[in-house]
Structure 1
Amino acid sequence: MNNPADITPTMPAQGTTLTLLKATPTALWHEAREACDDALRQGHAFVAILHGMEAFADERVLTDEDRQRAARYRQAGDRHNFVLGRNLVHHLVRPRGISAPCRFSIGPRGKPFLPDAPAYNLSHSGRWVACVVSHDEAVGIDVETFARLKDYRDLLGMVTHPAERHCIEQASPEHGLALFKRCWTRKEAVLKATGEGLHDNLPGIDVCLQQHEPVLDHPMPLRLMHLTADHDEATIALALNPSLPGVVAMFVDQPR
């Protein structure tokens, strides 16, 4: 981990402390686990965000079933992201002192979890992989590069609540695109926190685009936050229990 100058605590208006850590790949898993455990001890959520870290996609932590699943991915990037996700869970979530590959259980809504371990959620897009860990089950994260997005306006009817659509359509084209990305990632994070995944009622959820850090009461009480990387390639949204006092987010980028 870098020196204390790379640790930046902030306090949004709603009172959730956000601490940003910038780390190098050196001793990645040890430093990330230490930071994660420390955050959880304080009752905070921990987020690890990896960019360009394909070299850390270690298949030795996979079960035989997961190794077969990884082999079925046609694109190397998709395979790396799957394996990196499993590595994040292996190194951050499972109890210490266990070296055997993780075997996951599935909750009633299809959300995977590890028994007797903190809750977690994973997301990946492009060369980005993110994992959030919390003692509270209601937690979700979404990272998107929108590399394949064409005209976002074609999706407004399928995705947006009327209030969101009005907000986006009243903005300039450039700002409207940024608002659409915020809308999409917030909704993904919300639905992953509830364990529902994407469903047909996306327009029924209002993620309050005009608010910096809204607290929703539907579909369940959730605080929405955004995490900003050094460059704007990815949009990252986080949904978590509003009672959590803080979030610690560690960014790890490929060596330049």
Structure 2
Amino acid sequence: MSSDCCPELNLIQFPGAGGDDRHGALGANRFPAVSAKLGSEIIVPILENDGLQLLAFILDAEQIVIREIGIWLSEEERRRAEGLRLERDRRRFVATRGQLRRILASRLGIAPSDVELEYGRQGKPHLSHRMPARDLRFSVSRSGDLAVVALSTRQDIGVDIEAVLPVPEADEIAALCFSASEYGSYTALGPEDRLEGFLRRWTRLEAISKALGCGLGQPLSWVERDWAVHSFVPKPGYVGTVVVQNW
């Protein structure tokens, strides 16, 4: 086991993030946001509740940090990074996968480079059957300069975040993708609430798709009472949704 496994977590206060229970049933509490300093990066626990943990981190790290993180990636992940056209996208991909490995390694008690991932038919990553704690489930999402990792024990999970930026085709996308009830509640919103209302519903749809391991173009066969749906703000200017299977 190499010396970089299980890094010590130093918790400090991190303002401006947290969750609420307006869109789901993860509990009535508001969750304090603290940060865990791992090396030279900040990983922020957004919430913890009944085996669910939600962590956020910034992607635009210094080049030296990207190089340090990059050594943990698999050959396949390095090839994927090299295939991206923009340098910014390559760096953010490396940061996302490196920090994901770091988070998983801290839970598994192994080095980040020893984390083995496999992929479902729709590309959803999961731990290899050779890994300890195979019942650890996770989901990852990134938007802009931010990424979020959701962790759960035995329960299927999905997470999605979006930067609150204009979406010119929002009404057309909503009409095409939202359910009748979601679309009706969306169109009832006033102009000042329309953008955030669209993004909250979109992240919910994406998170459900990830939890089920299917693409957005496929029918969503899920029973709502079997899932907890939770809205959160990873940092100002972003919205997100995490979906976790109920027992």
- 1:230 & 1:240 partners in 2: Cα distance? 21
TM-fit CA distance, 1:200: 4.4
Per-residue CA deviation, residues 139-180 of structure 1 (Å, 9 max, x unaligned), is: 011011254621411222211111111111122112122211
- 2:97 & 2:14 partners in 1: Cα distance? 31
Moved more, 170-179 or 101-110: 101-110
- 2:11 & 2:116 partners in 1: Cα distance? 33
Give the letter aligned to residue 58 of structure 2.
Answer: H
SS for the counterpart of 1:182 is helix
The equivalent of 1:195 in structure 2 is: 213
TM-score (structure 1 length as normaliser) = 0.72
The equivalent of 1:47 in structure 2 is: 54
Moved more, 192-201 or 181-190: 192-201
- 1:223 & 1:81 partners in 2: Cα distance? 30
The equivalent of 2:5 in structure 1 is: none
Summarize the alignment of residues 1-256 of structure 1 with structure 2, pairs less than 5 Å apart: 1-3=10-12, 12=21, 14=25, 16=27, 17=29, 19-23=31-35, 25=37, 27=39, 43-55=50-62, 56-57=65-66, 58-94=69-105, 95-107=108-120, 110-115=123-128, 116-117=132-133, 118-145=136-163, 147=165, 149-201=167-219, 217-218=223-224, 221-231=226-236, 233-243=237-247
How many residues are paired up? 223
Moved more, 63-72 or 177-186: 63-72
TM-fit CA distance, 1:60: 0.7
Are 2:13 and 2:35, in contact at CA under 8 Å, matched by a contact in 1?
Answer: no
- 1:78 & 1:60 partners in 2: Cα distance? 17
- 2:71 & 2:59 partners in 1: Cα distance? 20
Moved more, 9-18 or 124-133: 9-18
Per-residue CA deviation, residues 49-77 of structure 1 (Å, 9 max, x unaligned), is: 11354334321111222112111111223
Between 1 and 2, higher relative CO (CA 8 Å, sep ≥ 6) is seen in 1
Query: Identity, % of aligned pairs?
Result: 18
- 1:141 & 1:109 partners in 2: Cα distance? 15
- 2:73 & 2:55 partners in 1: Cα distance? 19
The equivalent of 1:253 in structure 2 is: none
Give the letter aligned to residue 81 of structure 1.
Answer: R
Give the letter aligned to residue 78 of structure 1.
Answer: D
What residue ranges of structure 1 are gaps of 5+ in the alignment?
206-215, 244-256
TM-score (structure 2 length as normaliser) = 0.75
Note the aligned Cα RMSD (angstroms).
3.4
- 2:99 & 2:70 partners in 1: Cα distance? 12
Give the letter aligned to residue 122 of structure 1.
Answer: V
SS for the counterpart of 2:167 is coil
TM-fit CA distance, 1:136: 2.5
SS for the counterpart of 1:93 is helix
What residue ranges of structure 2 are gaps of 5+ in the alignment?
1-9
- 1:27 & 1:192 partners in 2: Cα distance? 30
The alpha-carbon distance between structure 1 residues 4 and 62, as it changes in their structure 2 partners (threshold 3 A), is: closer
Are 2:60 and 2:92, in contact at CA under 8 Å, matched by a contact in 1?
Answer: no
Are 1:185 and 1:236, in contact at CA under 8 Å, matched by a contact in 2?
Answer: yes
